[in-house]
Amino acid sequence: MSSWRFDEPYALLNEEVSGKQGSLDRSIWMESWSGYALNRDGQVLKPVVLPMATAERWNVAPREGTIRFWFKPDWSSSRSSLGNGPGRYARLMELASGEKKELLIWWSLYASPDGNSLFFSGPGPSGPMDYLQCDVDWQAGEWHMVSLAYGPQESVLMVDGALAALGEGFPGVPLPLIEQTTLVMGTDVAGHSSAGGQFEELSTFDHMVLPWNWDYYYHGTREIAAKGPITQDEAEAIQLMVAEVAALQKTAIEGGGWSGPLFLESMEGLYLLPPEIDDTNLVLTLMGAETNKSYNILFSDQLPAEFWSTAAIGSLGQSNFTVSMLDLHGFYQAAEGDDWDSDGVKNWADAQPSDAGVGALTITINVPAHGSTIE
């Protein structure tokens, strides 16, 4: 439905390089495992907001939906001997309509001052109430995935891919107030009560996504997130790898003797990175995937391919896959899963021309796997 990666600094840096007026506020943007992250650490900050609707598109579903994001606190929970918590009710997100005296808070997702609990609170039949509450034990500098699914029947809080709390549903935002409603990131609407940390990979969905759909995505992404910004050594290693693969590309396409796995650009513009090899498995990272779709990994032992077998079936938003190494000299590509046009034929099969594979002989290496873009 909507995805916000907080990579605006790339445009600002390009303006600076080209001599145009550009200004990168490094107190707001920090280098991260996925380009840049939004920094929300400070006493009083300028609010960062996402309108509920723009240009006839829902950024945040008004009645039933899911909000998913990654958060790295600069504080530790007090249940740890090393932590004291944020020392305030630290706002992760807040949905609000209007401003100042006419301000209406629909809900807030926040951490307790001691950092031991998360709360999802909003107005109830008899006044403010906590719809959801769960315990957490977070350490400063560690990334966590938080997902909030909401609707009129129930609300669900997920932390690190697992169910954390289940509670009552609540009414959605009335349509007349949609244009005045925004999702505030990392502070309250006045810029106070900051989250005290960084945000990455915010995604919203127009339906409730339940916990089991996040398991593969979380476990596949957390290792990339833990690596943090790409280092100079990593950048040099990736550049060397790309140069080596490029030297082999022509030979591989012509059916030469390269014994390593080959990776095709899919017909949907998706890209598989060169894999990490774990014993007899390949760990694949899919780039260019949309968070509101699911994808499959396909395999063929030859080109042109008479048949593409399904090596892995992904869940919604999954971008990392572990597949059995079917053949050292094999070809893999990614394709949308499911049957989006309901014709009884899987999307990847719909996309295949009669000479399947012939039009996709380009071996695509897309870098980096995490961190800032290498220029």
Tell me which long-range contacts 216-220 makes (C-beta under 8 A, separation of at least 24): 216/314, 216/315, 216/318, 216/320, 217/161, 217/315, 217/316, 217/317, 217/318, 217/319, 217/320, 218/145, 218/160, 218/161, 219/161, 219/320, 220/318, 220/319, 220/320, 220/321, 220/322
- For the stretch 304-324, pLDDT in tens is 667 777 778 777 777 778 777
Domain boundaries, the chain: 2-227, 232-360
Rounded Cα distance, 360 and 143, in Å: 37
Rounded Cα distance, 95 and 350, in Å: 40
H helices of the chain, in order, are: 9-18, 215-227, 232-253, 347-351
Work out the percent of the chain whose per-residue pLDDT is above 90: 33
CATH 3.30.2320.50 fits 2-227, yes or no: no
CATH class of 232-360: mainly beta
Rounded Cα distance, 229 and 243, in Å: 22
- For the stretch 242-257, pLDDT in tens is 556 555 544 544 554 4
- For the stretch 185-210, pLDDT in tens is 999 999 999 999 999 999 898 888 87
pTM for this predicted structure: 0.68
Rounded Cα distance, 2 and 203, in Å: 6
The alpha carbon of residue 46 and the mean position of all alpha carbons in its chain are separated, in whole angstroms, by: 24
